[in-house]
Amino acid sequence: MPGGLPVKRKLWDRLRDNYRISILDDENLEEVGSYNLSLLSFYIFMSVLALLLSFLVISFIIFTPVKRLIPGYGDITDNKKFIELSKKVDALEEEVSAYDTYTTGLKNMLTGGIYNTSVDKIDSVAAAKNIHPEMVNQADLMETKRAKELNFLKFATPVIGKISAKFQPSIQHYGIDILAGKDSPIKSIMDGIVVSAEQSIATGNSVYIQHTKNVVSVYKHNSILLVKTGDIVKTGQAIAIIGNSGEMSTGPHLHFEMWYDGKYVNPENYITFN
C-alpha cells in the first residue's frame, strides 16, 4: 500500500510462492542448473521422505532379528535360551512318565501278575538301562502251566540259522545263540511295542519288545538297530541286523530270549530256527 505499511500476507500464500534455486560454476559463475521450488512442495517432499524412512526403519525392526536387541521388546517365548529350557523340561517330563509306565509293566511281567498296562501307553523307556529281565534270579527250570499257553500262540522266526548255544539258565544263559549269514535281518516274533532299543557295554545293540499275553522278546548283540524305543512293530518286521556288538559277544550271532509272565522260557519249545 503506497505511503503505508506493507500488507501482511497469509501463510498459505507464502507457502505457494515459487523460489528459484540456481547452481553456479564456482570458477566462472556460469549457471549450470536451476530449479523452481515452492515452500509447500518442499514441505510435502520432506514429509513424504520422513514417512518413507520411518516405514523402512519400523519394517527393519519388525521383520529382522534386530528387534531382540531392543530391551523389553517381544515375547519371552521367542528367546532362544527360553525355548531350549522349555524343550529340556518337556523331555524330562516325558522321560519320567515313560519310566513310570515302563516300571509298572516290567513289575507285572516279572512278578507274573495280570498284565493290565495298555501296550499303546508304553511309548518310551527312560532311566531304566540297568533294569532288564535277565537280572531276575529264577531257580525253577520247569515250565509252568501258564507257560504252556504259549503253545496256542503263533510266533515268527527271528532269524534262520544254526543254534550255537542252548538255553541254559543254570549258567544265567536265559536264551539261545543263533548263527546266521552276515547282514541277516532280525525280525519281531509278534506284534508289539519296543520298550527298549539301546546300546550297552555288555550286550551291545539290544531290543526289548513287549507283546500281548505278557510275552517279552529280547534280541541282543545286533550290529544295527532298525527301530527305536516306543515304536510299534508287526509280526515279522525287521527290527535289527545281526552283529557282534557288546563285550559278551564272541562272534556274529543273535542272542534271543523269550519271557512269559515274568519267567524265562526256552525259545526252542515254541519256535523253529532252521
Q: What is the pLDDT of residues 62-105, one digit of tens each?
A: 777 766 666 655 555 556 676 777 788 877 777 666 666 666 65
Name residues whose C-beta falls within 8 Å of residue 6's C-beta, 6 or more positions apart in sequence: none
Type of residue numbered 35: Y
Instruction: Copy the grid coordinates of residue 102.
Output: 515302563
Q: Which fold has domain 121-269?
A: Glucose Permease (Domain IIA) (2.70.70)
Q: What's the pTM?
A: 0.51
* Boundaries of every domain in the chain: 11-65, 121-269
3 state DSSP class of 105: helix
Q: What is the pLDDT of residues 176-220, one digit of tens each?
A: 999 998 899 999 999 999 999 999 898 899 999 999 888 999 999
Q: 59 falls in which pLDDT band (50, 70, 90)?
A: confident
Whether residue 237 is predicted with pLDDT greater than 90 in this model: the reply is: yes
pLDDT for position 131:
39
211 touches 257 (CB < 8 A): no
Q: How many helices (H) and strands (E) does the chain have?
A: 3, 13
